[in-house]
């Protein structure tokens, strides 16, 4: 049955004694959807014998035995006390269950579990959690400053060490710091280029004529669709990767020089210190077979155009480049002859 509530109008209904002999029944009003507002009798005991006795069918008539208003109030209070007691029982049960759950989850083990583990019925107890010991971070200022410590510093950090009092007392470390700083700056300078960069006519002055005085610039005038231009561009791409200290740029011929004849393509211009040092018109300047080694030999005939940033002064740089190019050229020729001999032997 749905929820019920007592009604203050219960005095209008006849008194009915409960079968258990504990006094007149209490009248309550039904709130069920099936019988809304219909009065019914319940037992007056704190723990009722039944929750529902019957419907109140007859209205109250005069000269019949009735419960006094005080009795009805007392019975209503008793019913409320019963409801509170039932709620307390439910709450007590919930608290008891929660306590059991907490004990099971929080307590790491019980005596029964220990006995079962000794008998082998339960797995061994997991080790207790132990937080790692606290280790304070190492102070950078307290580290011993030696050669290995300086090697780990960046360019900005080495510049900040210029006024370090710990290095003022050690002349070797101070000199080594300056040497290491110079190496980092030179490495940053070397990595400035490394590919053939496309430019437009408006970029020519800034990228070529206004390049730093110590930088050699190789400019190729080309047009798309010409096989000779594509072959020379492939060679320059390899040279740009091999010699990152030399700047390689490419520009459409008519963007650089209006009405430049296509028969002169490809054309190489070599710039240094805002001046043209050499120019090579056509592909025939680089030999019958245009290779990166052949192009490198032509570019370094009179000037140290190609620079890998590791060879030092300009004469030694040029000699190192020529030596390396000749060595690679010889190795390539020998490798080609060996491949030809292998092909002949396999055909025989």
Measured CA to CA, the distance from residue 346 to residue 340 in angstroms comes to 10
SS3 49: coil
Is the model's pLDDT at 141 over the cut of 90? no
For the chain, give every domain's residue range: 4-88, 145-190, 196-336
> Which residue in 115, 124, 180, 119 sits closest to 147, CA to CA?
180
Supply the CATH classification number for the domain 196-336: 3.40.30.10
Measured CA to CA, the distance from residue 216 to residue 306 in angstroms comes to 8
Mean residue pLDDT of the chain comes to: 73
Give the chain's largest Cα–Cα span. Answer: 142
Residue with tokens 């002349």: 171
Please give the model's pTM, rounded to 2 decimal places.
Answer: 0.44
Of 160-174, 199-213, 322-336, the least confident: 160-174
- pLDDT for 261: 93
pLDDT tens for residues 28-82?
Answer: 665 555 655 556 666 666 555 555 555 444 444 433 444 556 666 777 787 788 8
For β-strands 39-42 and 196-198, DSSP reports them as: unpaired
Confidence of residue 123 (pLDDT cuts 50, 70, 90): confident
Residue with tokens 């040029």: 318
Angle separating helix axes 292-299 and 227-242, nearest 10 degrees: 70
Here the tokens at position 338 are 């060996």
Q: In sequence order, what are the residues at sequence separation of 6 or more whose Cβ sits closer than 8 angstroms to the Cβ of residue 242?
A: 292, 306, 308
Here the tokens at position 51 are 């929750």
- pLDDT for 235: 92
Contacts of 308-316 spanning 24+ positions with Cβ under 8 A: 308/190, 308/242, 308/243, 308/244, 308/245, 309/186, 309/187, 309/189, 309/190, 309/244, 309/245, 310/190
Confidence of residue 19 (pLDDT cuts 50, 70, 90): low
Measured CA to CA, the distance from residue 173 to residue 53 in angstroms comes to 104
Is the model's pLDDT at 166 over the cut of 70? no
Alpha helices in the chain (DSSP H): 69-106, 111-119, 147-151, 155-160, 165-168, 171-190, 204, 227-242, 253-256, 292-299, 314-347
- pLDDT for 6: 42
SS3 string of 81-101?
Answer: HHHHHHHHHHHHHHHHHHHHH
> Which residue in 240, 246, 249, 233 sits closest to 318, CA to CA?
246
Confidence of residue 169 (pLDDT cuts 50, 70, 90): very low
Measured CA to CA, the distance from residue 306 to residue 300 in angstroms comes to 7
């Amino acid at each position: 049955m749905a929820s019920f509530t007592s009604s203050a109008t219960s005095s209008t209904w006849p008194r009915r004694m409960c079968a258990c002999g504990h006094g007149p029944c209490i009248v309550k009003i039904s709130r069920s959807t099936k019988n809304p507002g219909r009065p019914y009798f319940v037992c007056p005991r704190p723990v009722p014998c039944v929750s529902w006795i019957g419907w109140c069918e007859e209205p109250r008539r005069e000269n019949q035995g009735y419960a006094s208003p005080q009795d009805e109030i007392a019975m209503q209070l008793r019913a409320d006390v019963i409801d509170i007691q039932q709620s307390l029982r439910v709450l007590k049960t919930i608290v008891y269950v929660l306590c059991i759950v907490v004990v099971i989850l929080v307590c790491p083990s019980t005596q029964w579990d220990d006995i079962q583990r000794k008998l082998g019925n339960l797995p061994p107890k997991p080790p207790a959690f132990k937080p790692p010991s606290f280790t304070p971070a190492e102070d950078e200022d307290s580290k011993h400053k030696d050669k290995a410590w300086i090697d780990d510093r960046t360019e900005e950090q080495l510049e900040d060490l210029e006024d370090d009092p710990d290095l003022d007392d050690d002349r070797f470390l101070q000199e080594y710091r300056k040497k290491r700083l110079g190496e980092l700056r030179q490495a940053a300078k070397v990595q400035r280029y490394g590919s053939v960069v496309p430019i437009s006519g408006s970029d020519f002055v800034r990228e070529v004529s206004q390049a730093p005085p110590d930088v050699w610039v190789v400019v190729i005038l080309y047009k798309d669709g010409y096989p000779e231009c594509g072959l020379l561009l492939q060679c320059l791409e390899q040279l740009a990767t091999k010699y990152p200290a030399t700047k390689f740029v490419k520009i459409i011929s008519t963007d650089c020089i209006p009405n430049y004849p296509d028969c002169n393509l490809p054309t190489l211009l070599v710039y240094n210190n805002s001046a043209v040092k050499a120019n090579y018109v056509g592909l025939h300047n680089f030999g019958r077979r245009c290779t990166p080694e052949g192009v490198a030999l032509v570019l370094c005939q009179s000037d140290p155009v190609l620079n890998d940033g590791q060879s030092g002064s300009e004469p030694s740089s040029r000699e190192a480049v020529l030596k390396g190019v000749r060595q690679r050229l010889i190795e390539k020729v020998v490798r080609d002859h060996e491949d030809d001999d292998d092909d002949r032997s396999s055909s025989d």
